[in-house]
Amino acid sequence: MIPEESEKEGRPVVVQAGMYAVEMLSKRYAMHAINVVIVDDLAWIWWYDRQGATQSSGVDFIKDLPCFLVLIATSRHLGLRERDIDATLRRDGHQHYLKRAMREYPRNDRTVHGIHPRRKPHAFDVVFRDREDQTNVKTAAVTRPDKILLSRYSLSGRETKDFEAMQKKVTQADAGMKRYWPEVTLTSEAVVLERAVELGRGDPLIEGHLPTVLASYDLDYSTGTIYEGIQKEGRTVGNAIDGSRCMRLLLMRKLLPIDGLHANEFLRVWVLCYRRHFALWMKGFEHTDISIDNLLYDPVTRKGVLNVFDLARVRLDSKNQVTGRERTGTIPFMAMDLLSSEYFHGETVRLYRHDFESFLWMLPYRLLRGFATEQDKGLREWNTGNYESCRSAKSDFLMTQMETWQVLDANNARVWDGIGFWLTRWLKRKLDEMSDLRILKKRTPGKLSRNDLDKISRWEDQSDQSAIQVLKEAESVIATHLAKAGSFIPFQPLSDEEFQRYLPSPSTSASSS
C-alpha cells in the first residue's frame, strides 16, 4: 500500500486497509483476509476475520531484510486454509466451490456426507447425512452463490448472505442456502427452529409460518483458533477468544423478502408476521431481532414467515430477568427505549412492546423510501451502528417529519395514509405520554394520580396480559382506520377467545401458586 495514495483520498492507511479487507471477506466463502500495510520502511501484517482484526509488530525491511525475506518465502507455502479457504474448498480459475470432503464433521447433530465439485460456473453440490434421531433430513442441494437473495456487508459479525439453491429431489424443489458467521457458543439456528416448531404445533398462528430447515453444516474452522494461539504466547490482555465465530451453512426452503412486495401484499404479510411473533412470545419464545430483512414470505403458500432465530431466547418463567446480555437487535428498527446506554449495558429488560415497536418502524422505512431528496437521506440516518444517532433521527421523524414527508407512489400512499401513519401516530402518543409521566414521577411524584401510576406500571409490566393489551390497542387502530380507508386488505382483529388461548387457565394458575 502506498501512503501517498491514502493521503490523497483523505483516508488513513489503516482505514484503507480495512476497506480492502471488507472486499476480500465479501468473497463467497472467505474465512479471513491478510493485508500488509507498508509505511516508509516498516511493514505490518494485518489479519482480519469475522471476530475482529489483529496487527503484528512492524518489520523494518531495510534493516531486517533477512526477516522480511523469510516472511515472503513463508507466504508462498501457505495452504488453502491459511490463505482464506477451508480445506473443503478448492480454487478453480476464478471460481470457488466445495470439493469432496476428506473427513466428516459432526456438528449440531448433523454430519456432512460429502461435498462434490460441479463444473458448471458458480455451482456446487452439498450432501447431508441422516441425523440419528431424524431420518427426513437426508438431502442434497445444488447451490448458486452468484444468485444472491440477501446480503449484509460488514467487516465483522455474522455477515449473513442468502443465495439460491435447489434441493436435489425428483421435483427439484427450490431452496435457499444461508451462509453466516454466528458465535460458536450460540445454539444452532436449526436446533432453535426445531424448538419453535415444536412449541407452535397445533397453533394456527404459528404452524406453517416458520422456516423449514432441510439441513445444516458448520465448517470445521473457528475464528478463535488464531487468537487462542496468540493468547497462549502472552501477547494479549483479557479473553482473546471470547466471541469466536464459525461459518455455518443452512439449507432451507426458499423464501423471499417482503420488502419487494406490492404495498398491499406487504401489509398483509406484515400482519401475519407480527401475529406469528406474538404467538411465539406468549409461549416463551423471544425473537429479539425484529427487522425488515428478517420478515420473509413463502412464494408458494403466500404465508408470512418470521426468520433468523439464532439470537432467539426461550423464557423459562413468566418474567424476564436482566442478565447483562440484552443487546440484540437491528438498530434502525429497535424500540426507542432500547436505543440507550442502559440497554447496551444490559440493564434493561426486553418487553413484548419493544419487539412490537420494531414492527411499527418497518412501515415508514418501507413506505416512505424512494426519493432522491432529504427524505431518503433522513431515513438512511436510521441505518447506523450508533444507537444515539439513530434515536435522534427517529425522534426528529416523530416530531416533525412524520407529518410532512411524502409517499412516492399511489400504492404506498394508500397503505401509509390508511394504516402506517396512524399506527406511527399511536406509537408517538404512547411514547410522549410515558415520557411525561416518567418526568413527573422523577421530579414531582406527589402530582401523579393513581391512574397515572397504573399507566406507568402497565407500560413496564412483563406479564402476558400487558403484551395482549399492547397488541389489542394496535389492532384496534388498524381495524378502525382500515375500515375508513376502504378495507384494501382482509383484516379481522384477534378475538378475546384467541388471546385467551395464550393465557394459563384459572385451574393452572391456582395449582402453580
In sequence order, what DSSP letters do the residues of 436-456 get, joined into one string? HHHHHHHH-GGG--HHHHHHH
The confidence score (pLDDT) of residue 103 equals: 36
Cα–Cα distance for residue pair 261/420, rounded to 1 Å: 16
Statement to judge: residues 397 and 275 lie in one domain? yes
Q: Which residue has the cell 477451508?
A: 86
d(CA 312, CA 28): 26
pLDDT given for residue 140 in this prediction:
58
Cα gap 48→55, rounded to integer Å: 9
- Asked whether residue 459 falls in the same domain as residue 355, the answer is yes
> Whole-angstrom Cα distance, residue 138 to residue 168?
11
**Domain enclosing residue 168, as ranges:** 122-197+214-254
* pLDDT for the residue numbered 236: 56
User: What pLDDT does 131 receive?
Assistant: 40
- Does some domain include residue 391? yes
Total count of residues recorded for the chain: 513
Whole-angstrom Cα distance, residue 173 to residue 365? 33
Give yes or no: residues 237 and 266 share one domain: no
DSSP 398: I
User: Do 19 and 166 fall within a single domain?
Assistant: no
pLDDT of residue 141: 61
Q: Are 313 and 286 in contact (CB under 8 A)?
A: yes
159 & 249 share domain: yes
Looking at the domain assignment, is residue 498 inside a domain?
yes
In a domain, 459, yes or no: yes
Residues 6+ apart with CB under 8 A from 20: 33, 35
- 291 with 394, same domain: the answer is yes
Four-residue CA torsion sign, 383, 386, 388, 389: negative
Query: Residues 320, 408: one domain?
Result: yes
Which three cell numbers, joined as nine digits, stand for 297?
414470505
Report the DSSP pairing between strands 285-286 and 139-151: unpaired
* Phi, psi at 78, each rounded to 5°: -70, 140
Count of structural domains within the chain: 3
Q: What is the pTM of this model?
A: 0.79
Q: Look at the alpha carbons of 332, 23, 222, 43 in this order and tell me if their dihedral is positive or negative.
A: negative
What pLDDT, on a 0 to 100 scale, did the predictor assign at position 91? 38
User: Looking at the domain assignment, is residue 90 inside a domain?
Assistant: no
Single out the residue in 56, 85, 114 at which a domain terminates.
Answer: 85
- 448 backbone dihedrals φ, ψ, rounded to 5°: -80, 135
The pLDDT, as a whole number, for residue 385 is 83
AA identity, residue 41: D
Q: How far apart are CA 326 and CA 345, in angstroms?
A: 8
- Rounded CA-CA distance 294/211 in Å is 11
Please choose, from the candidates 224, 245, 247, the residue with its C-alpha nearest in 3D space to the C-alpha of residue 236. 224
Beta carbons of 291 and 306 less than 8 angstroms apart = no
Residues 35, 54 contacting (CB under 8 angstroms): no
Provide the Cα torsion 457, 458, 459, 461; round to 10°: 80
Closest by CA to 18, choosing from 8, 4, 6, 28, is 6
Taking the chain, what is the end-to-end CA distance rounded to the nearest angstrom? Answer: 69
Query: What phi and psi values does residue 276 have, to the nearest 5 degrees?
Result: -60, -45
List pLDDT tens digits, range 8-41. 456 788 888 888 888 788 766 678 888 888 888 8
Let me know the angle formed at the C-alpha of 352 by 351 and 353, rounded to the nearest 5 degrees: 90
Q: Is residue 438 part of a domain?
A: yes
Give whole-number Cα distances, 313 to 181, 250, 280, 309, 410, in Å: 18, 19, 11, 9, 40
Q: How much is the pLDDT for 355?
A: 95
Are residue 336 and residue 439 in the same domain, yes or no?
Answer: yes
315 found inside a domain: yes
**Of 384, 438, 418, 434, which is closest to residue 487 (Cα–Cα)?**
418
Burial class (CB in 10 A: 0-12, 13-18, 19+), 238: exposed
- Nearest-angstrom CA–CA distance, 444 and 426: 26
* pLDDT of res. 94: 34
CATH assignment of the domain containing 301: 1.10.510.10
**Pair (74, 127) in one structural domain:** no
Contact predicate 286/350, CB 8 Å: yes
Cα Rg of the chain, angstroms: 26
Same domain, 59 and 134: no
| 348 and 395 within one domain | yes
Residue 388 lies in a domain: yes
- Look at residue 402 in the predicted model and tell me its pLDDT: 92
Query: What's the 3-state SS for 276-341?
Result: HHHHHHHCCEECCCCCHHHEEECCCCCCEEECCCCCCEECCCCCCCCCCCCCCCCHHHCCHHHCCH
The answer to whether residue 476 sits within a structural domain is yes
Q: What is the DSSP letter of 204?
A: T
- Stretches where the chain sits below pLDDT 70 are 1-10, 27-29, 80-81, 83-146, 149-150, 152-156, 163-164, 166-173, 233-242, 316-327, 372, 505-513
Residues 352 and 481 in one domain: yes
